[in-house]
Amino acid sequence: MTGTTVALVGAAGHGAWHLRAIEALGPRARLVATCDVQPGYDYTDHRLMLRERRPEVVVVCTPPHTHLPIALDALAAGADLLLEKPPVLSLADHRTLAAAAAGRALQVGFQALGSPTMGRLPGLVGEAVSASVAGAWWRPDTYWTRSSWSGRRGRDGALVNAFAHALMQALAITGIRPPWTLSLDRYRTRPTVEVEDTATLRLEVPDGRSVFVAVTLCSTEFVPGDITVTGTQGACEVGYAQDRLDGEVLPGRIGLLENLLDHRDRGTDLLVPLSRTEPFTVLAEAILAEAPPALLAADRLAARDDGVEIPGAAGLVRRAAAGRAHFREIGAFQ
């Protein structure tokens, strides 16, 4: 049988999406093993799976804090990797992983970087100077109890998890790298959740480029998380999830596993090599080190059957993003 042999570690959660992606590649990819600590898959121990099946490519889709040891084992077994985002949670781990991955192919699962909008953007805006994200989503109470790491300090949060793609996209579009000035304004609505469900973030570098993010997971009005990009020659709205540029949907999204196989077979550049995600890791580490955010008072919230709403949250997110002003700077939640 032909096709690159692929194994999936972490198959029961978001891994189901990867199973479909592997299948969609047809004969180019041959699934040789699934592994999850939950029963129902070929293996519960990824090391045993690596020894017995020797896959050429391993897709790692386990909780973020488990990525590093599994990735190191897979690299040591000689495999190339598609590692889910966030690759790791600290710069020290990022460097450990980068050293271990020398000579191997390691793609990180920020799939929106395979969007055709990325290539078209410079022609529309010139050099990107600022990127501003506005996102208002609804996540019910069950979202915060779905996994052992959900809502846990140092592991999760609206900025580093739910809106991770928006953040990574904004970093990639502006090309911002540390050292930078970071300021945050973070809130939560549930005492049992240790991380932000609502936040603004501002990143600035000395040459004037900036990233701004205003997001909430407590809005019944949906704002997709589009990015307003302002550049030296113009401005543009990027819908990173649907490949929209100023309302036009562009064809030609490249899948990250397909790109990894192209890299192995033909030397095509990886879309999301680990090095491209280092600014995200630095930012994530800083956010995850923050103390639990301010708890919003119950009289600011509207209880719903399945969760907690912040009335007017979508409007606040839009205002903050348009002015690149923190919630506290527009008088919200004072």
Ligand X SMILES: NC(=O)c1ccc[n+]([C@@H]2O[C@H](COP(=O)([O-])OP(=O)(O)OC[C@H]3O[C@@H](n4cnc5c(N)ncnc54)[C@H](O)[C@@H]3O)[C@@H](O)[C@H]2O)c1
Give the residue, chosen from 3, 12, 54, 318, that forms a contact with ligand X under the rule CB under 6 A.
Answer: 12
Candidates 12-20, 192-200, 218-226, 233-241; binding stretch for ligand X (CB under 6 A): 12-20
Interacting positions 67-96 with ligand X (CB under 6 A): 84-85
CB 31 within 8 A of CB 8: yes
Closest separation between CB of residue 133 and ligand X, Å? Answer: 16
* CB distance 8 to 20 below 8 Å: no
Report the residue number, 85 or 202, with the smaller CB distance to ligand X.
85
Select the span of 63-71, 137-145, 192-200, 278-286 touching ligand X (CB under 6 A): 63-71
Q: List binders of ligand X among 272-331 (CB under 6 A).
A: none
- Based on the shown chain and the rule CB under 6 A, indicate whether residue 3 belongs to the binding site for ligand X: no
> C-beta of 39: minimal distance to ligand X in Å?
10
Closer by beta carbon to ligand X, 109 or else 279 = 109
Q: Measured from the CB of residue 148, what is the shortest distance to ligand X in angstroms?
A: 7
Site for ligand X (CB under 6 A): which residue of 3, 63, 224, 311?
63
Task: List residues binding ligand X (CB under 6 A).
Answer: 9-10, 12-15, 35-38, 46, 61-64, 66, 84-85, 109, 111, 147, 161
